[in-house]
Amino acid sequence: MDEQPINEDKLKQVLEDITKIEKTEMVDKLIHNNAVEFVHDGVTYKVSPPSYDQRIEANRERAKKFTEMMNDSQFMMEADLVKLYAKRGIDIAQIDKDVAALEKRKDDLMLKLGQALKEDKQEELDVYKKEIETLNTEVRNLNLQKIMYLELSVESQVMVHVYTYLAFLCTMKKEGETFIRAFNTFDDFKSISNDLMNIIVFYSSFMVRNDIKL
């Protein structure tokens, strides 16, 4: 299997998409009654956490996709892909260590931020907030870099598929005063615009991230 280099343009686009959503519509302000609502092209959509039946359906789809991927020779298991990268001088484990170190620095800053808040030290608060924002960006960049390296692993492909499938299952649209299922079939969902797809998957990933187990 040939080494897959990081696609800088793709990484940049992912970062821009996430930043755009975070800045224009803060997720924590959109959650009402355990759901996320948003408007796109005049249509109101709602993404809710998956029901028990939807989680069961998604798990069946996960098993189906995993079996399919295991029989596809162009994809490797993540552990094997990590070893291949290591032979070519790319240390995936180091990315995890760097992220852990940044998270430790962030935890330390959070403690300082809390103390500054208690003591009402506004200047220190502003400094700590900016430093934490910088660390968050660095962590996000490293995590996205790792995702790009491992995107062709069996586990990553299955994870993307399941997130997308759950997005399809959990999305409703408003007709009149009621919400109905937004898409009749998974193929219908996959045929929507990239903009709408990115928004739905982003919000659904936020809502279902604790429901996906590989």
The ranges assigned to domains in the chain are: 33-76+155-214
- At 42, is the pLDDT very low, low, confident or very high (cuts 50, 70, 90)? very high
Assess whether pLDDT exceeds 60 at residue 2: no
pLDDT in tens, 82-98: 999 999 999 999 999 99
- What letter represents residue 157's amino acid? Q
**Nearest in space to 5 (alpha carbons), one of 123, 152, 175:** 152
Q: How far apart are CA 179 and CA 166, in angstroms?
A: 17
Instruction: Please give the average per-residue pLDDT across 114-132, as a whole number.
Output: 84
Tokens representing 94? 């180091």
pLDDT in tens, 166-214: 999 999 999 999 999 999 999 999 999 988 998 898 888 777 654 544 4
Instruction: Please give the average per-residue pLDDT across 16-40, as a whole number.
Output: 61
Instruction: Look up tokens 């390296």; give the residue.
Output: 149
Q: How far apart are CA 86 and CA 182, in angstroms?
A: 44
| Contact indicator for 212, 159 with CB cutoff of 8 Å | yes
| Contact indicator for 166, 208 with CB cutoff of 8 Å | yes
pLDDT on residue 46: 93
Query: DSSP character for 41?
Result: T
Look at 8-12, 32-36, 41-45, 193-197 and tell me which has the smallest mean pLDDT: 8-12
pLDDT on residue 8: 47
pTM of the complete model = 0.67
Q: How far apart are CA 107 and CA 105, in angstroms?
A: 5
Look at 81-90, 99-108, 143-152 and tell me which has the smallest mean pLDDT: 143-152
Furthest C-alpha separation in the chain: 60
Determine which helix (DSSP H) or strand (DSSP E) holds 18, and give its type and residue range. Answer: helix 8-24
| Contact indicator for 86, 92 with CB cutoff of 8 Å | yes
pLDDT on residue 114: 84
pLDDT on residue 53: 94
- At 3, is the pLDDT very low, low, confident or very high (cuts 50, 70, 90)? very low
Look at 30-39, 57-66, 157-166 and tell me which has the smallest mean pLDDT: 30-39
Assess whether pLDDT exceeds 90 at residue 40: yes
